Amino acid sequence: MGRTSPAHVPDASVLVTVWRKSHHSNPSGECAELGPLPDGVTIAVRNSRCPHGPALLFDAETVCSFIDAASDGRLDSVLDDYSRYQQHDAGILIRGGNGESGPGA
């Protein structure tokens, strides 16, 4: 199955929607906001700190699948991999599964 890039709009503030963010979002406002569009099948996603910035447009089924996967822990390993990548780029020594230490171990 081929992967396609989501559609986008350059200025999210022009979209007719009610923006919502998780009640788990942090107080500094670094959150993604979701807004269902009037067509009933599209959900826009924007950075809450940039309301006039771009928004990505996804079909509702894709967004629901992503939220379900995040909620039940199926994305935890992705976050672990990302954390290791960030530590590696920062030059932090991390311990790999083989017991060795060093960047990317």
Q: Which of 32-36, 69-73, 78-82, 94-98 has the lowest mean pLDDT?
A: 94-98
Judge whether residue 87 has pLDDT over 50: yes
**13-71 confidence digits (pLDDT tens):** 999 999 998 877 777 777 889 999 999 999 999 999 999 999 999 999 999 999 899 88
> Using 50, 70 and 90 to split pLDDT, how confident is the model at 78?
confident
Q: Pick the most confident of 47-51, 73-77, 91-95.
A: 47-51
How far apart CA 8 and CA 33 sit, in angstroms, is 14
CA–centroid distance for 72 within its chain = 15
pTM score > 0.75 for this model? no
- β-bridge pairing 32-36 and 42-47: antiparallel
Residue 103 Cα distances to 29, 53, 81, 82, angstroms: 32, 35, 13, 14
Q: Give the per-residue pLDDT at 38.
A: 96
Q: Which residues pair with 7 in a beta bridge?
A: 57
